[in-house]
Amino acid sequence: MIKIIDNQKLELQYKEGFGSWTYHLRLPGTADIKGKWGHLKVSGTIDDFEVKNIYLAPRKGEDKIISINK
């Protein structure tokens, strides 16, 4: 397992009309991680809330994002 972020403050971002990805976290330093949708699964905690097996969404030439739905 590779640790991609540790104790970093991230900003919850809003993007209107982005479907289920309306709110998301952009993970800095992940643009060069290779993989397509469904192949980049992460687990960890966000503010002591445990997340398991969430897929990172690749963005062309940009850092990966995680959808926040709840």
Handedness of CA 27, 31, 33, 37 (dihedral sign): positive
> 23-26 and 41-46: which strand pairing?
unpaired
For residues 12 and 49, the answer to whether their CB atoms sit within 8 Å is no
pLDDT in tens, the chain (70 residues): 678 888 888 888 888 877 766 788 899 988 888 887 778 888 888 888 888 888 888 888 899 988 887 6
User: What confidence score (pLDDT) does residue 44 get?
Assistant: 84
User: What confidence score (pLDDT) does residue 51 get?
Assistant: 83
pTM attached to this predicted model: 0.74
User: What confidence score (pLDDT) does residue 21 get?
Assistant: 62
